[in-house]
């Protein structure tokens, strides 16, 4: 797993004179549980203000819709001298995963980022304007939601969990998994399934709901460390990161490259509305993930600047605190060329991703170098042996009985 370099600072606004381009990636706001567990005393929808997995109001705790509205206003203040208050499709682009909570978070965020001004006011009684949000079905999305099926990734993650480190975790948690399975009524046999259960309990305590006695024995102390660790696994290795966040970083690098070249039609500000796992994966890919569950509305900001040359600054806002993020192998003021070089093994276009995700035959057989040599030699020997037999058979077929060559009349021979 990659290393971590973080420094905490308070930042409310930035100097935008040298800014060329910005990428913002944020998690949605407060939501209800996605799917309560079978024995959950609060599995009845009547306990919740909205349906399961939906964005909430709860503005009194600055969560949900209000949380993202305020984040939008914060982004407006931060980039006041860079991003015009007058919305233009030539400056700004926003993409969201195809989930209600991320789409609604994006809408609330835009309400704070782009309140209508002057000729964009279409109804004085409504301080809001419609702004496009781009998305695509989750199961077809290999850019942001990353839920499009990738057989190669599936194989690599399966292999990861068979390594001694993760096998040891499973052994260590055997009794905990069994306890959770018995009491929750659902199979808990992995870090991912444990995190889902932990997240449900977290939301219920956030809403001041009393957990069952069996849950209070293990929540939060015995569950949180493993739930946090689950966020590091999707991009644990470089190969996994390439297939999980490669297309997104391809788009980010292309965006910044266009800014350095001042490409016609370049949009200087791109925003992405996504999930906690997206935040974790992006940080982990850059070698800057401090193991934790990214909170609601946590935000990554990548800023391309021009000084003596182009360089990239990265920030992470996981609460009211904004942290400087230093990508592994680079300074905080990361030269753009170095930034591109560091990501080169990860970056992959969406079309390349589609090809690379397909499993070739050799991925089904886990052979070491010696085994490959042995099998290749055996295969070559078989081909040579088969070819030799065929050549002998052809020669014998042309040989007449008795071994004497027969006379064959040519077309020009005269008949006596």
Q: Which positions are catalytic?
A: 28, 276
In 281-309, which positions are buried (b, 16+ CB within 10 angstroms) versus exposed (e)? bbbbbbbbbbebbbebbbbbbbbbbeeee
* Closest C-alpha to 206, from 41, 27, 30: 30
Structure tokens at 216: 């209070």
Structure tokens at 39: 């024995």
Helix, strand, or coil here: 207?
coil
Distance CA 377, CA 400 (A): 37
Distance CA 35, CA 29 (A): 17
| Residues in contact with 113: Cβ distance below 8 Å, sequence separation at least 6, in sequence order | 72, 73, 75, 76, 83
Distance CA 161, CA 140 (A): 26
Contact 250, 347 (CB under 8 A): yes
What is the separation of C-alpha 186 from the centre of its chain, rounded to a whole number of angstroms? Answer: 26
Give the containing element (helix H, strand E) for 64: helix 64-78
For 102, 237, 254, 343, the CA distances from 251, given in Å and listed in that order, are 20, 21, 5, 12
Contact 314, 325 (CB under 8 A): yes
Contact 331, 14 (CB under 8 A): no
Tokens 């077809």 belong to residue: 140
Could you write out the DSSP letters of every residue in 22-33? EEEEEE---B--
For 87, 99, 133, 298, the CA distances from 121, given in Å and listed in that order, are 11, 29, 19, 30
Structure tokens at 51: 């349906």
Distance CA 26, CA 106 (A): 9
């Amino acid at each position: 797993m990659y290393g971590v370099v973080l420094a905490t600072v308070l930042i409310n606004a930035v100097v935008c004179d040298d800014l060329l381009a910005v990428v913002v990636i944020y998690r949605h706001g407060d939501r209800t549980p996605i799917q309560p567990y079978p024995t959950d005393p609060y599995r009845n929808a009547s306990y919740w203000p909205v349906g399961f997995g939906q964005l909430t109001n709860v503005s009194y705790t600055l969560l949900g819709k209000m949380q993202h509205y305020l984040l939008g206003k914060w982004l407006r203040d931060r980039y006041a001298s860079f991003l015009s208050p007058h919305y233009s499709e030539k400056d700004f682009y926003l993409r969201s995963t195809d989930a209600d909570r991320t789409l609604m978070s994006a809408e609330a965020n835009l309400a704070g980022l782009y309140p209508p001004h002057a000729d964009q006011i279409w109804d004085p009684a409504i301080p809001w304007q419609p702004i496009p949000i781009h998305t695509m079905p989750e199961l077809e999305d290999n850019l942001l939601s990353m839920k499009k099926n990738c057989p190669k990734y599936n194989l690599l993650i399966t292999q990861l969990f068979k390594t001694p480190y993760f096998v040891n975790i499973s052994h260590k948690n055997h009794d905990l998994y069994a306890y959770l399975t018995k009491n929750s009524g659902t199979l808990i046999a992995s870090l991912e399934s444990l995190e889902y259960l932990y997240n449900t309990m977290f939301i219920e305590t956030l809403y001041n709901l009393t957990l069952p006695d069996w849950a209070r024995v293990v929540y939060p102390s015995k569950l949180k460390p493993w739930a946090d660790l689950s966020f590091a696994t999707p991009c644990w290795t470089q190969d996994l990161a390439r297939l999980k966040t490669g297309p997104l970083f391809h788009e980010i690098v292309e965006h910044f490259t266009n800014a350095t070249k001042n490409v016609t039609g370049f949009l200087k500000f791109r925003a992405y509305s996504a999930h906690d796992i997206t935040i974790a994966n992006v940080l982990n890919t850059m070698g800057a993930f401090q193991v934790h569950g990214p909170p609601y509305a946590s935000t990554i900001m990548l800023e391309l600047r021009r000084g003596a040359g182009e360089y990239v600054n990265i920030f992470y806002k996981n609460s009211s605190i904004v942290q400087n993020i230093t990508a592994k192998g680079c300074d905080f003021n990361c030269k753009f060329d170095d930034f591109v070089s560091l990501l080169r093994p990860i970056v992959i276009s969406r079309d390349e991703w589609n090809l690379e995700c397909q499993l070739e035959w050799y991925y089904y057989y886990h052979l070491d170098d010696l085994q490959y040599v042995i099998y290749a030699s055996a295969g070559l020997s078989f081909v040579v042996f088969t070819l030799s037999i065929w050549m002998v058979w052809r020669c014998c077929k042309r040989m007449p009985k008795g071994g004497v060559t027969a006379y064959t009349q040519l077309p020009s021979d005269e008949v006596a």
